Structure 1
Amino acid sequence: MGEGGSDDGFSRELSKRTVFVTVGTTSFDKLVMAADTDQVKRELRNKGYTHLVIQMGRGSYIPQKNDGEDGSLVVDYFTFSPSIADHLKASSLVISHAGSGSIFETLRLGKPLVVVVNEDLMDNHQIELAEELAERKHLYCARPQTLSKTIANMDVESLLPYVPGDATPVVKHINRFLGFPED
């Protein structure tokens, strides 16, 4: 070990900053394809992220793996995992579909979050949830075609922590939208 530091893997592990992309149990190829673009990878690298792990669910689009030897983002993917929670905990940034389970699990862990809404879904109430939480500055909201711009413009330090129990206003908003009577 020289004066300038160690190469024991420990310092490399400390500087590892992983972005975890999840589509849950669905198929959301547009999100996987967006995450796999050179523009998104470049923006992530510019923000200091080192690894990109994509959970592609039932999708048919296969992202391109990369070992990062050339200094670019290390990219890996898988379809399903028995514990998405482990990937969420290990990540520095999460890019997720707009499923409420994924959103609230990520926020509960205090991880910065970009929610990408699937505009192809009919009666998509997930959009309202994501946009409401983005308005409250708990997360960023994007579309597949705006993901690279959202990443370029985001400042994860400006996000506000989500406090569990804070869901009442969101639930009221959704209930109003759905036409349910207020209590």
Structure 2
Amino acid sequence: MNYNMPRKKIFVTVGTTKFDDLIKTITTDEVLQELSKKGYSEMIMQIGRSHVEPDCTKRCGFHRIEVFNLKPSLQEDMQTADLIISHAGAGSCLEALELSKPLIVVTNDRLMDNHQLELAEQLYKDGHLLYTNCKGLTQLIRSMNLSELKPFTGDKSKTIANTINEIMGFA
């Protein structure tokens, strides 16, 4: 192990929801190995209302994997992360983007009216994030080039809020 290499940290969040599929997928050896190949060795997971107990043993190049359910603010976890992997909730996405963090959004295929997918698609089209579902996560990580993402500059929150309102049919 090269102790001189910087340790890159991932923060995974599902917000206040329950997204067991993401928690189970992100902790598979296959996904961890791909993340390790990209230089990541630490992962903190905020698992919301999940009752899944992910495997937090050191493995696949990860020397630290931690988990918690909920806390008042995720800002510190997001600020210290080198990569954020998130559910497609508008709040989580905007917070990550406003902190100028590389973001992978994983959409929940189990949601009936998946307006989150539309938001992820729009932010992807604008070049701000990468997105996939749980089945495609390993391949996305394998092929990702985070340097191609465009910074989320200025106050685009109003634009995003308008997009959300259009998607929801409020505009």
Tell me the TM-score normalised to structure 2 length.
Answer: 0.89
Asked whether the 8 Å contact 2:40–2:62 carries over to 1, the reply is: no
1:126 match? 116
Q: Give the aligned residue type for 1:89.
A: Q
Greater shift, 35-44 or 157-166, is seen at 157-166
Superposed CA RMSD:
2.2
* 1: CA distance, partners of 2:17 / 2:169: 27
Greater shift, 25-34 or 80-89, is seen at 80-89
What is the correspondence of 1:25-36 to structure 2 with a 5 Å cutoff? 25-36=16-27
Q: Tell me which of 81, 90, 105 is aligned to 1:115.
A: 105
Identity of aligned residues (%): 38
State the secondary structure of the residue aligned to 2:85. Answer: strand
* 1: CA distance, partners of 2:161 / 2:16: 24
Ranges in structure 1 where 5+ consecutive residues have no aligned partner? 1-10
1:68-117 per-position Cα deviation (integer Å, ceiling 9, x unaligned): 5x844521111112321110001000000111000000000000000011
Q: Give the aligned residue type for 2:109.
A: E
Ranges in structure 2 where 5+ consecutive residues have no aligned partner? none
Indicate how the Cα distance of structure 1 residues 58 and 157 shifts in structure 2: closer, same or farther if over 3 A, else same: same
2:28 pairs with 1:64: no
Q: Tell me which of 64, 78, 81 is aligned to 1:88.
A: 78
Asked whether the 8 Å contact 2:86–2:104 carries over to 1, the reply is: yes
State the secondary structure of the residue aligned to 1:19. Answer: strand
1:20 match? 11
- Aligned pair count? 170
1:158 match? 148
Greater shift, 19-28 or 57-66, is seen at 57-66
* 2: CA distance, partners of 1:26 / 1:180: 23
Indicate how the Cα distance of structure 1 residues 54 and 107 shifts in structure 2: closer, same or farther if over 3 A, else same: same
2:89 match? 99
Could you list the structure 1 runs, at least 4 aligned residues long, displaced by more than 6 angstroms after superposition. none
* 1: CA distance, partners of 2:62 / 2:5: 18
State the secondary structure of the residue aligned to 1:50. Answer: strand
Q: Give the aligned residue type for 2:141.
A: I
2:129 pairs with 1:135: no
Indicate how the Cα distance of structure 1 residues 125 and 62 shifts in structure 2: closer, same or farther if over 3 A, else same: same
* 1: CA distance, partners of 2:22 / 2:63: 18
State the secondary structure of the residue aligned to 1:59. Answer: coil
1:52 match? 43
Return the index of the structure with the highest Cα Rg.
Answer: 1
1:76 match? 66
* 1: CA distance, partners of 2:162 / 2:61: 47
Tell me the TM-score normalised to structure 1 length.
Answer: 0.83
TM-fit CA distance, 1:60: 1.7
